[in-house]
A and B are shown apart, each in its own frame.
Chain A
Amino acid sequence: MSELPGDLQYTNDHEWLRREDDGNITIGITDHAQSSLGDLVYVELPEVGQDVDSGGDMAVVESVKAASDVYAPISGSVVAVNEALSDDPEVINSDPYGDGWIVRLAPGDDQGELLSPEAYQALLDEIDS
């Protein structure tokens, strides 16, 4: 059973979003995603200042068995990236919702299609069944 914090929003691509006090959005991949990928060995991060479109490529997470794109769930501009992941990508495995965050965006106009914790849980249940 994957861990699923109730204060986050989620996407069909197994990413999570947290709205920070300053209005920026922190994004990472879910516990389910990290556990499916296995031990992460590399994270390719975007550059601060880069604009992203909703649904566009934003980062790449690479495990020993797969390399997967992390899509921007909303449009926006990159205000911070988790540089610590360059040396320590497995933090995503150990703490996907905390120190394993990937990108922080200043949100743009396109809010994308986000899921509530309940809706994402339903998605996971469907996958498991």
Chain B
Amino acid sequence: MPFIPHTPDDTEEMLAAIDAKSIDDLFDEIPADLKINSLDGVPEAMSEMQVTRLMRDRAAMDGAPLCFIGAGAYEHHIPQAVWDIATRGEFYTAYTPYQAEASQGTLQTIYEYQTMITELTGLDVSNASLYDGASGLAEAALMAVRSNRKVKTRNVLLAPGVNPTYAKVAAAIAGSQGLTFEFLPVQAASGNVDFDALDDEATPVAVVIQQPSFLGTLEDVDRLTDWAHARGAYVVGIANPTSLAILKAPGHWGEAGADIACGEGQPLGVPLSSGGPYFGYMTCKMQHVRQMPGRIIGRTIDLEGKPGFALTLQAREQHIRRSKATSNICTNQGLMVTAATIYMSLLGNGGLAAVARRSAYNTARLVEGLTSIDGVTRLFDGPSFHEVALQMDRPVALVLEALAAQDILGGYDLSTDYPDFGDTLLVCATETKTDADIDVYVDAMRDVFATPLVQSA
């Protein structure tokens, strides 16, 4: 049965009221050649029972491998209470309510989220969230162009450690508005920016720094932030929120701090799930708030002087500014943000720092084990957080295949994104891994490398 409340009579009546003959008439302005008349390739409908069976079978194919892949999404322990609370009926909606102020509980949750994220990132103001980290970078770049009136260019420079997928997504979203994204020169030994090779004549509108970098390294964020500010550029910091429990917050980078911070919120209580739904966070200095995309919840008082929460700065938004709105983003990832808020509340500062430290320790231990194997070395010197790039003497794809046969997801193959690096693997061990798990991985890798390197014909 179709879940549409209108009867055919209702539809007729509504069409008659606006002098339209059919529903198709309402879509007249769409050119006919853009319409698809048949859905070739879409299989026949299945019954609920059939679909349940199909999905159960497919889910079983996933198995329960030991996961050492990070590369932007991270497996963390999520206390049971997080999703028990987040899926209560009162929270279980993806939307910011249309009658926003009638839903004070939802608004308060988002307000608490904003407070926590601003504290983590060391900046003044947060929005209610964005779709994900990658589109968050696009929004941050567009925001920098709107807000930075000292620099007229639309060139955005990216530190070498910016997630390559984020760079592609940002270019896809913001490229049509004339923004260009270009990587800064990399220093081969450290994987970080090569300060000696920087162009001091550059006039970027923004410089994007990811910390920890996609390659697991720690950039000299203070120096790069100051370099960018000296060029008149805004600094956009991308940071893994877990790492911010122990690393310097973007708002404190360099002399003046990053102007905008954004990133992927998934590590805060959102399970790994084929790429989503996750959520993006974004914070900024107060002076840039009017150019911030998305919704912002503010605390206020009502006519009787009682505290309450309201959507604030709405005048910038699409339903009022129409085509001149600050951004087309007028929603948020409410449910994911609710989970993140509960996760952060349950862990607290100390808990989040413990997760960060344990993840860094586990990764260091894993790397120590793996690099004791002949044919495996660290790609970069210097400190890291909970991810490390490893150089291998054989094709990474084959190594990963051999590990997968033993139910181990060994890491992220960097050779596609960074062909210059050769055979390199990015590994990550979060707090979810026990010493025994790490030993299992190291032993399996040792077995793989015990097999002589077969030269391909």
Contact = CB atoms under 8 A, between A and B. Distances in A.
A127 interface: no
Given A44-B290, A62-B316, A67 B321 contact: yes
A63 B321 CA distance: 12
A66 B315 contact: yes
B290 A42 contact: yes
Taking chain A's interface residues, is the majority helix, strand, or loop, or is none over half, making it mixed?
strand
Nearest to A37: B315
Interface in A79-112: none
Contacts of A44: 290
A67 B320 contact: yes
A65 B311 CA distance: 12
Contacts of A62: 290, 315-316
A67 B149 contact: no
A33 to B, nearest CB: 15
B58 interface: no
Q: Which interface class (under 10, 10 to 19, 20 to 34, 35 or more) fits B?
A: under 10
A108 to B, nearest CB: 21
Interface in B284-335: 290, 315-316, 320-321, 324
Contacts of A67: 315-316, 320-321, 324
A113 interface: no
A66 B320 contact: yes
Nearest to B320: A66
A66 B320 CA distance: 6
A100 B320 CA distance: 24
B320 A69 contact: no
Contacts of A69: 324
A44 B320 CA distance: 17
A69 B321 CA distance: 10
Contacts of B321: 67
Contacts of A47: 149
A1 interface: no
A71 to B, nearest CB: 12
Interface string B220-245: 00000000000000000000000000
19 contacts: A41-B315, A42-B290, A44-B290, A47-B149, A62-B290, A62-B315, A62-B316, A63-B315, A64-B315, A65-B315, A65-B320, A66-B315, A66-B320, A67-B315, A67-B316, A67-B320, A67-B321, A67-B324, A69-B324
Interface of B: 149, 290, 315-316, 320-321, 324
The 5 tightest CB contacts between A and B, nearest first, are A67-B315, A62-B315, A67-B321, A66-B315, A66-B320
